[in-house]
Amino acid sequence: MANKNSNLKISVIVPCYNQSHFLDECIDSLIAQTYSNWECILVNDGSTDGTEQKCLDWQQKDTRIKYLKKTNGGLSSARNAGLNYVTGNYIQFLDCDDFLMPQKFTLSIESLRDDDEVAVVITDFLLFEQKKKISKPPHCILESNCFNQEAILKEWDKRFTIPIHCALFPHQIIKKHRFDEELKAKEDWIFWLQVYEHPLRTVFIPTPLVFYRINDAGLTRNDAIMHENQMIAISKLANVIKDKELYHSFLSYNTQFYLNEIFALKKEILRQKEKRKLSYKFKKIAKLIGLK
């Protein structure tokens, strides 16, 4: 590459929690990158399997790889911990069970203009089915009109979601934000809303350059957790969406949808015979959208 962007450094944050069996494939996909100016921060989030030894082994093999150990705090906590140690111009989030195509960094950096100071680069993705070891089409179609706060607010989980590892985020933007550590799901939704708080130039590469692993044991397979965190995330929107007209139009438009979410959560709790009631936050969001 002849332009000045070849000097840009990419910081990769890889949270690791009891998934050491995926870690080699994840890091191999970094080693295979055709763009070499990167660093990787492996964040061991209190794993009890062989994660630590694998991380230490990789740190010995490649000086670009750094190891950070912390007590267990969840995915958002691990990502935030990694953000405290990055030195790059751009940030790549990569969960340890996912992996990248070799051209991901090269094509992303080459897509930036020489005069770009702050721009997000987003690529398309494929699903990877663990049991069959095959790739599958993505669960949604990403398009340029997805990458703004209004679309992310109103159409997330309906028309599209954006896997976090599809993006290269400019450090200048990311340093202002952190993942919400209270959330065990939907944290990406809130994070994307924060990133697009203001209009932001986005480069979309409609080529699948990342793999999102389908993991049957993942949080997204637990309906109770997903419904619960959906409601917690909604209760936080008033502080995230600065455009109050947009915020209220979203609540008004989605009243029936979130009424269904509340009943779905209540049903799931009863199904699992959990002896607890809807939390104050669920009641609060119900009140916000005019249900009580």
Q: Where are the domains of the chain?
A: 4-217, 222-288
Q: How many CB atoms lie within 10 A of CB 174?
A: 21
Residue 261, pLDDT score: 64
Instruction: Please give the average pLDDT of every successive group of 10 residues along the chain, which has 292 residues.
Output: 75 97 97 98 97 97 98 97 97 97 98 89 95 90 97 95 97 94 95 95 97 71 74 89 92 71 64 54 57 53
Q: How far apart are CA 212 and CA 214, in angstroms?
A: 7
- Structure token digits, residue 165: 């590892």
CATH code for 4-217? 3.90.550.10
Residues 264 and 247: their CA atoms lie apart, in Å, by 23
pTM of the predicted model, to two decimals? 0.88
**What residues are paired with 167 via a beta bridge?**
122
Q: What is the pLDDT of residue 271?
A: 65
> In angstroms, rounded to a whole number, what is the distance separating the alpha carbons of residues 270 and 275?
8
Give residue 227's identity as a one-letter amino acid code: H
Please give the pLDDT value at position 268: 62
Query: Which helix (H) or strand (E) covers residue 29, if one does?
Result: helix 20-31
